[in-house]
Amino acid sequence: YAPIPPEAVIAGLLGEGDTASIVVREIRLPRALLALMIGAALGASGAALQGLLRNPLAEPGVIGISAAAGLGAVGAMYFGLASLWPWALPALAMLAAALATVVLLLVSWRGGTLSLILAGVALSSICAALTSLALNLSPNAYAASEIIYWLLGSLKDRSMADAALAAPFVGLGAILIFSQRKALDVLALGEETAVSLGVDLRALSVVLVLGVAMAAGASVAAAGAIGFIGLVVPHIMRPFVGHAPSALMLPSALGGACLLLAADMCVRVIPTSSELMVGVLTALLGAPFFFWLVLRHRRAWS
């Protein structure tokens, strides 16, 4: 990537300038905005799910929500709905994410956190199998390559239209998530205590389900599968802001935005034959961190 002088950046942001300014306005700015927006959505969603389920391993990717959203988006591409109606891909992605979240909440309500993790693994496997089936039965090589490219997770070739398409859903999801931060603080004291203090657990779960589904679903729809942001960032922020969900959500959103933006900057400068997908980089960094968390909490599970 060629360096662009600051004056060209400013001119591009103001809608003026030469070719370098057009590159800033049409290529780099949408990519940076999407990285900030998606990173913030995933970071806040991870913090909210960890508070709701009281499970440090909960996040949209690990418990299968992102995989379900990905399956919904793949379905929109496979059946040609995305080309007929621009809102079909994010709508199906969010619907699939909402259904997956409801299923996981029902399982965890009865079987505990271990059942939640196992159900999330099973759900991810089912969604991955159905996604592989769609790839296997894709009508042409172009459709298959489009699905594969999207599943790897990337912010490459995104425009302001993609950011504008995802922004309303991410924004509404964030509003729903942040509206329940005080209730999550009370829930951290235990379900019986929360009920005695007037917290409606069913309403809390429904609102957070919708919020996470909108934020994570729109993120997956805009950039594909970018995992582990929601898992890693809350754990990075806890030593600085504490364990209270109300204190953790905003720092997790800001940390997620910065982390994904930094990851996207890295994939653009790493010397490879073709640009590394940002979803691949976050998985390479997040998977060892997840394994460390599993080892750290194995005694609690036993």
Query: What secondary structure does DSSP assign to 96-148, as a single string?
Result: HHHHHHHHHHHHHHHHHHHHHHHHHHHHHHHHHHHHHHHHHT-SSHHHHHHHH
Pairwise CA distance, residues 3 & 149, whole Å: 27
Sign of the four-CA dihedral 92, 201, 246, 293: negative
Look at the block and give the residue holding tokens 């640009």.
Answer: 275
Which tokens in the block code for residue 87? 């809102």
What is the CATH code for 6-297?
1.10.3470.10
Chain segment 131-156, per-residue pLDDT in tens: 999 988 887 777 788 788 888 888 98
Pairwise CA distance, residues 199 & 184, whole Å: 9
Q: Would you kindly state where each structural domain of the chain is located, as residue ranges?
A: 6-297
Q: What is the pTM of this model?
A: 0.86
* 249 contacts 191 by C-beta, under 8 angstroms: no
The whole-number pLDDT of residue 225 equals 85
The count of residues in the chain is 302
Tell me the range of 3-17, 174-188, 189-203, 280-294 where mean pLDDT is highest: 174-188
Pairwise CA distance, residues 190 & 114, whole Å: 18
Chain segment 15-68, per-residue pLDDT in tens: 666 666 667 777 788 899 999 999 999 999 999 999 988 888 788 877 788 889
* 215 contacts 41 by C-beta, under 8 angstroms: yes
Phi, psi for 280 (deg, rounded to 5)? -70, -40
What is the Cα gyration radius of the chain?
19
Chain segment 216-269, per-residue pLDDT in tens: 888 988 898 898 899 899 999 998 999 899 999 999 999 999 999 999 999 988
Q: Which of 103-107, 165-169, 253-257 has the lowest mean pLDDT?
A: 103-107
The whole-number pLDDT of residue 65 equals 84
Pairwise CA distance, residues 177 & 212, whole Å: 7
3: left (phi over 0), alpha (psi -120 to 50) or beta: beta
